[in-house]
């Protein structure tokens, strides 16, 4: 068994000494927060959040004691530090200099601190912060910190502390939230995150929340934001500060005021917030500040946020919402509100197919009745399955209250049929694994479960708990061992019969790729990546065969033909390595971008590499899918499109290409010429198709299950499985499709 290295300080070009120096200068976060937990044998309730660094919180609290004392703070966001963008770093220095001169009690940064979370970007960002401001600065991560984070948030946590967290200052409760998802673009709180928030706010006074993604209005960046609003509906949340959209916006919704801030990336902008008394009522007065190149400041009043309960807006909260059964292509909705304060009410089908984006919506105005508001919404075009109806009650001055209710569109005969559901702790982000009817699912909370699905439910074989799992496990060819990659710096080999550890291979970095089990020289070999290194280990013993430098981060899955291993790299290139020795055979430049950020984004960093018949290998990016010659690395053909995220299975009829926008085509593996093209109606990321004969079943990222006939591209079935995003590739067992999603929900779906 290989030793488990200490994962406390990640491998990093900064080096251990430089890393600790930076972290120490920024308030000692590296010393205050330790490493990740070890593996266990039974599920334990995951730790959903922590309180912020004690020293920092105490310092802030001491700066303004008592709810009546003057209190001022600054808010900024989307700083996007990049070592190659010197003008942007100068803008950031100018912004921080202005903030320091104003002497705030504390400062909030709403995320996207860096362009892509690189070590040198964090170093560049920290170098712009005046020493006198460091212990007053509080952060939350944005999607740019986690989307390509080979450290799995470890570096971020050691520089800035974990999130969520909270602190109190002068009678104001401040909460930093983190709905970001490692390796993904949009947000998701999850049950544990919302439970932590409810517990944190239960005994709090007037509260200010800050996070990266705005919620409500036209924003659909957080998949379970409706659950968030339900969670805080009776809690003392008065204000939310957010970023992400790089523009300024003020929204009064659900009894609170949300300020979305302009980005420092756009210029030297920040927001100044004073707690003042207005006609005897405590309020937050928010001003927008712009700093010119010569340091001249321009301040503009933006909004005033009441710290007492906003009774006017809360009177818009519906007392009752009744959603009828769909009939004649429409669904009826009746909304009862507590008073006549509402000026209008609208309803729409919740835009489930909007993934990490915005939508003005397709709202239908309801008609006022003696009891509230009534009307109907068009649902004829919806797929059968589970949907949400979104209701918006409008009030004076732009105030509103949003609420959602579930409804179901019934399926016709011969359609896929839901048989059962079960929930695991955490999110099922990686693909499911299956061998001889045994299915293994692993979650971001570290829960691993093996079960045998039936039409009546699932028979659990065993459970265990490891570190967080973000990519799919894999069985050995004989089915006796299942390999599980974990962000706790280990690849685990578990006995498929009972889940006990056969061996554990430790590495300096989180394992954020899907392992490939292949045969090299007659020996079962596991190939995977961690950090910027490609590893090959004996699948029976866990002993290392070789390792190779990938020169960048790779979160996908390699391919191997027994002679060579083919893999993508975060440096914009694809590589071939000798499968026996790890010696590099060739590399292929997959992008024309020259900067490090561009080469990562536009390279094959998250590709599931596929072998093609006739000596080819398929490597994909957000720009194209390219068939390369396995012997030389020369390109044979390419198809334009963003095919990097969804696996591209090779079938008897050809290669199935699915781009991230849900466009599907079947191409000839020899030429790349398309036989047919189709659209499944929703975006597809990470979750790949299951092929059964001439039918392909695919779960889109929005939870839409679609069946495509491989003979002609006809979409035969569509079913909405649920509200959660899906990144996990399903498996098929005896006609039962088993799926997993970000809510941790497993489903058994009987296929027609």
- Cα–Cα distance between 678 and 497 in angstroms, integer? 41
Instruction: Please say if the pLDDT value at position 628 is more than 80.
Output: yes
CA distances for 147 relative to 180, 187, 416, 487, 601, angstroms: 9, 11, 33, 14, 10
Q: Are residues 265 and 141 in the same domain?
A: yes
Instruction: Please say if the pLDDT value at position 529 is more than 60.
Output: yes
Q: What would the pLDDT profile of 67-113 be if each residue is shown by its tens digit?
A: 557 799 999 999 999 999 999 999 999 999 999 999 999 999 999 99
Token pair 């919806």 is at which residue?
Answer: 382
What pLDDT is recorded for position 314?
84
Average pLDDT for the chain = 92
What pLDDT is recorded for position 21?
56
Instruction: Please say if the pLDDT value at position 428 is more than 60.
Output: yes
Token pair 């839409």 is at which residue?
Answer: 704
Ramachandran area for residue 121 (φ above 0: left; ψ -120 to 50: alpha; else beta):
alpha
DSSP helix/strand/coil, 125: helix
Instruction: Please say if the pLDDT value at position 32 is more than 70.
Output: no
Give the pLDDT mean for 141-153: 98
- Cα–Cα distance between 607 and 605 in angstroms, integer? 6
Q: What would the pLDDT profile of 440-468 be if each residue is shown by its tens digit?
A: 999 999 999 999 999 999 999 999 999 99
Q: Is residue 105 part of a domain?
A: yes
Q: Are residues 119 and 232 in the same domain?
A: yes
Reported confidence tier of residue 311, pLDDT bands at 50, 70, 90: confident
- We report the CATH number of the domain holding residue 262 as 3.60.21.10
Q: What is the CA radius of gyration of the chain?
A: 26
Tokens of 699: 């779960």
- Cα–Cα distance between 221 and 219 in angstroms, integer? 6
For the chain, the first-to-last Cα distance in angstroms comes to 46
Q: What would the pLDDT profile of 317-337 be if each residue is shown by its tens digit?
A: 999 999 999 999 999 999 999
Give the pLDDT mean for 281-296: 97
DSSP helix/strand/coil, 19: helix
Give the pLDDT mean for 192-207: 98
Instruction: Please say if the pLDDT value at position 41 is more than 80.
Output: no
- Cα–Cα distance between 281 and 178 in angstroms, integer? 31
Q: What would the pLDDT profile of 243-272 be if each residue is shown by its tens digit?
A: 999 999 999 999 999 999 999 999 999 999
| Burial of 62 from C-beta contacts in 10 A (0-12 / 13-18 / 19+) | exposed
Going by C-beta distance under 8 Å and a sequence separation of 6 or more, which residues neighbour residue 296?
none
Q: Let me know: does 181 contact 468? Beta carbons within 8 Å.
A: no
Q: Are residues 234 and 283 in the same domain?
A: yes
CA distances for 600 relative to 27, 232, 393, 553, angstroms: 31, 38, 44, 8
What pLDDT is recorded for position 36?
28
Q: Let me know: does 111 contact 243? Beta carbons within 8 Å.
A: yes
Q: Are residues 63 and 118 in the same domain?
A: yes
Tally the C-alpha atoms within 13 A of residue 162's C-alpha that lie toward its C-beta: 15
- Cα–Cα distance between 86 and 105 in angstroms, integer? 29
With CA atoms as reference, report the closest residue to 258 among 293, 222, 290: 222
Q: Are residues 299 and 356 in the same domain?
A: no
What pLDDT is recorded for position 148?
98
DSSP helix/strand/coil, 21: helix
- Cα–Cα distance between 573 and 181 in angstroms, integer? 25
- Cα–Cα distance between 55 and 32 in angstroms, integer? 9
Give the pLDDT mean for 572-589: 98
Answer with the one of 290, 309, 328 that is the final residue of a domain.
309
Token pair 């399955």 is at which residue?
Answer: 385
What pLDDT is recorded for position 310?
83
| Burial of 456 from C-beta contacts in 10 A (0-12 / 13-18 / 19+) | exposed
Q: Are residues 221 and 347 in the same domain?
A: no
Instruction: Please say if the pLDDT value at position 273 is more than 50.
Output: yes
Instruction: Please say if the pLDDT value at position 374 is more than 60.
Output: yes
Answer with the one of 275, 309, 343 that is the final residue of a domain.
309
| Burial of 491 from C-beta contacts in 10 A (0-12 / 13-18 / 19+) | buried
Helix (H) or strand (E) holding 469: none
- Cα–Cα distance between 244 and 265 in angstroms, integer? 11
What pLDDT is recorded for position 490?
98
Instruction: Please say if the pLDDT value at position 292 is more than 80.
Output: yes
Q: Are residues 268 and 341 in the same domain?
A: no
- Cα–Cα distance between 486 and 37 in angstroms, integer? 12
Helix (H) or strand (E) holding 656: strand 654-658
Q: Is residue 425 part of a domain?
A: no
DSSP helix/strand/coil, 91: helix
> Parallel, antiparallel, or unpaired for β 663-667 and 654-658?
antiparallel
Reported confidence tier of residue 371, pLDDT bands at 50, 70, 90: confident
Tally the C-alpha atoms within 13 A of residue 711's C-alpha that lie toward its C-beta: 4
Reported confidence tier of residue 46, pLDDT bands at 50, 70, 90: very low
Q: Is residue 452 part of a domain?
A: no
Q: Are residues 211 and 290 in the same domain?
A: yes
How many other C-beta atoms are found inside a 10 Å radius of the C-beta of residue 335?
A: 26
Q: Are residues 290 and 366 in the same domain?
A: no
Q: Are residues 302 and 324 in the same domain?
A: no
Q: Are residues 130 and 197 in the same domain?
A: yes
Token pair 């699912």 is at which residue?
Answer: 441
Give the pLDDT mean for 203-212: 98
What pLDDT is recorded for position 26?
55
Instruction: Please say if the pLDDT value at position 29 is more than 80.
Output: no
* 9 compared with 17, residue with greater pLDDT: 17
Instruction: Please say if the pLDDT value at position 64 is more than 80.
Output: no
- Cα–Cα distance between 670 and 702 in angstroms, integer? 32
Q: Is residue 279 part of a domain?
A: yes
Q: Is residue 377 part of a domain?
A: yes
| Cis peptide, bond prior to residue 164, ω within 30 of zero | yes
Ramachandran area for residue 739 (φ above 0: left; ψ -120 to 50: alpha; else beta):
beta
Answer with the one of 356, 391, 409 that is the final residue of a domain.
409
- Domain count for the chain: 2
What pLDDT is recorded for position 505?
98
Q: What is the DSSP letter of 536?
A: E
With CA atoms as reference, report the closest residue to 23 among 9, 6, 7, 37: 9
- Cα–Cα distance between 92 and 96 in angstroms, integer? 6
What pLDDT is recorded for position 338?
85
Write the DSSP string, 194-256: HHHHHHHHTT--SEEEE-SS-EETTEE-BTTHHHHHHHHTTS-EEEEEE-SSSS-EEEEETTE
Q: Is residue 444 part of a domain?
A: no
Q: Is residue 123 part of a domain?
A: yes
- We report the CATH number of the domain holding residue 373 as 2.60.40.10
- Please list the residues that pair with 420 across neighbouring strands: 748
Give the pLDDT mean for 384-393: 98
Instruction: Please say if the pLDDT value at position 55 is more than 60.
Output: no
Going by C-beta distance under 8 Å and a sequence separation of 6 or more, which residues neighbour residue 609?
556, 557, 558, 559, 566, 567, 568, 574, 617, 618, 619
Tokens of 337: 């509100």
Q: What would the pLDDT profile of 540-568 be if each residue is shown by its tens digit?
A: 999 999 999 999 999 999 999 999 999 99
What pLDDT is recorded for position 653?
97
What pLDDT is recorded for position 15?
52
Q: Is residue 356 part of a domain?
A: yes
Q: Are residues 214 and 324 in the same domain?
A: no
What pLDDT is recorded for position 68?
57
Give the pLDDT mean for 178-186: 98
Q: What would the pLDDT profile of 211-220 be if each residue is shown by its tens digit?
A: 999 999 999 9
- Please list the residues that pair with 284 across neighbouring strands: 275, 305
- Please list the residues that pair with 519 across neighbouring strands: 524
Q: Which domain holds residue 374?
A: 320-409
- Phi/psi for 408 (5° steps) reads -125, 135
Q: Percent of the chain at pLDDT above 90?
A: 88
Q: What would the pLDDT profile of 215-251 be if each residue is shown by its tens digit?
A: 999 999 999 999 999 999 999 999 999 999 999 999 9
Going by C-beta distance under 8 Å and a sequence separation of 6 or more, which residues neighbour residue 105?
60, 63, 64, 71, 72, 73, 136, 169, 170
Q: What would the pLDDT profile of 114-140 be if each residue is shown by its tens digit?
A: 999 999 999 999 999 999 999 999 999
């Amino acid at each position: 068994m290989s030793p488990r290295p200490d994962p406390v300080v990640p491998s990093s070009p900064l080096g251990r000494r430089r890393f600790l120096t930076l972290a120490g200068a920024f308030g000692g976060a590296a010393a205050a927060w330790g490493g990740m937990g070890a593996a266990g044998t039974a599920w334990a309730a995951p730790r959903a959040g922590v309180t912020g660094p004690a020293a920092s919180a105490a310092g802030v609290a001491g700066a303004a004691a008592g709810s009546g004392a003057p209190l001022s703070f600054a808010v900024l966001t989307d700083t996007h530090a990049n070592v190659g963008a010197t003008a942007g770093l100068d803008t950031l220095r100018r912004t921080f200099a202005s903030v320091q001169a104003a002497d705030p009690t504390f400062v909030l940064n709403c995320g996207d601190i860096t362009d892509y979370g690189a070590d040198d970007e964090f170093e560049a960002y920290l170098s712009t912060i005046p020493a006198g401001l460091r212990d007053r600065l509080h952060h939350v991560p944005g999607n740019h910190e986690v989307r390509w984070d080979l450290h799995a948030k470890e570096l971020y946590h050691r520089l800035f502390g974990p999130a969520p967290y909270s602190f109190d200052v002068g009678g104001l409760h401040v909460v930093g939230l983190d709905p970001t998802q490692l390796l993904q673009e949009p947000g998701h709180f999850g049950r544990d995150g919302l439970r932590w928030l409810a517990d944190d706010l239960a005994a709090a006074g007037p509260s200010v929340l800050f996070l990266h993604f705005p919620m409500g209005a036209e924003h659909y960046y957080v998949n379970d934001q409706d659950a968030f609003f339900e969670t805080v509906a009776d809690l003392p949340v008065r204000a939310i500060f957010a970023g992400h959209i790089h523009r300024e916006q003020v929204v009064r919704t659900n009894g609170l005021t949300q300020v979305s801030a302009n980005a420092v990336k756009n210029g030297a902008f920040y927001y100044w917030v004073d707690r003042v008394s207005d006609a005897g009522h405590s309020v937050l007065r928010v001003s927008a500040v712009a700093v010119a190149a010569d340091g001249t400041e321009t301040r503009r009043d933006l909004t005033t946020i009441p710290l007492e309960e906003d009774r006017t807006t809360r009177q818009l909260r519906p007392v009752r919402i009744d959603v009828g059964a769909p009939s004649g292509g429409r669904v009826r909705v009746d909304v009862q509100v507590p008073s006549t304060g509402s000026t209008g009410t609208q309803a729409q089908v919740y835009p489930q197919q909007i993934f990490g984006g915005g939508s003005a919506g397709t709202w239908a105005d309801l008609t006022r009745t003696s009891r509230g508001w009534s009307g109907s919404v068009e649902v004829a075009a919806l797929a059968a399955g589970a949907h949400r109806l979104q209701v918006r009650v409008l009030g004076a001055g732009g105030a509103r209250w949003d609420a959602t209710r579930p409804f179901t569109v019934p399926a016709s005969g011969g359609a896929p049929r839901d048989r059962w559901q079960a929930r695991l702790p955490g999110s099922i982000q990686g693909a499911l694994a299956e061998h001889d009817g045994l299915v293994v699912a692993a979650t971001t909370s570290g829960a691993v479960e093996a079960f045998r699905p039936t039409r009546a439910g699932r028979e659990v074989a065993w459970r265990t708990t490891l570190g967080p799992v973000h990519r799919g496990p894999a069985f050995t060819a004989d089915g006796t061992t299942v390999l599980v990659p974990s962000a706790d710096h280990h690849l685990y080999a578990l006995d498929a019969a009972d889940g006990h550890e056969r061996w554990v291979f430790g590495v300096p970095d989180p394992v954020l790729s899907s392992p490939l089990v292949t045969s090299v020289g007659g020996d079962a070999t596991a190939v995977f990546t961690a950090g910027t290194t490609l590893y090959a280990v004996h699948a029976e013993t866990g002993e290392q065969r070789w390792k190779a430098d990938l020169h960048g981060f790779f979160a996908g899955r390699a391919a191997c033909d027994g002679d060579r291993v083919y893999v993508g790299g975060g440096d914009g290139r694809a590589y071939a390595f000798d499968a026996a020795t790890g010696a590099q055979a060739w590399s292929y430049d997959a992008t024309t971008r020259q900067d490090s950020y561009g080469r990562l984004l536009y390279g094959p960093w998250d590709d599931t590499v596929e072998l093609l018949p006739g000596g080819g290998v398929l490597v994909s990016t957000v720009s194209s899918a390219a068939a390369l010659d396995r012997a030389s690395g020369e390109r044979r053909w390419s198809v334009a499109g963003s095919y990097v995220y969804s696996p591209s299975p090779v079938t008897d009829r050809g290669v199935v290409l699915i781009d991230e926008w849900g466009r599907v085509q079947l191409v000839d593996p020899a030429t790349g010429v398309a036989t047919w093209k189709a659209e499944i109606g929703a975006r597809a990321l990470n979750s790949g198709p299951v092929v059964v004969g001439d039918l392909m079943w695919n779960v889109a990222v929005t939870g839409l299950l679609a069946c495509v006939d491989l003979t002609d591209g006809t979409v035969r079935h569509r079913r909405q499985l649920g509200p959660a995003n899906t990144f996990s590739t399903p498996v098929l067992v005896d006609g039962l499709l088993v799926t997993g999603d970000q809510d941790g929900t497993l489903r058994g779906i009987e296929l027609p």
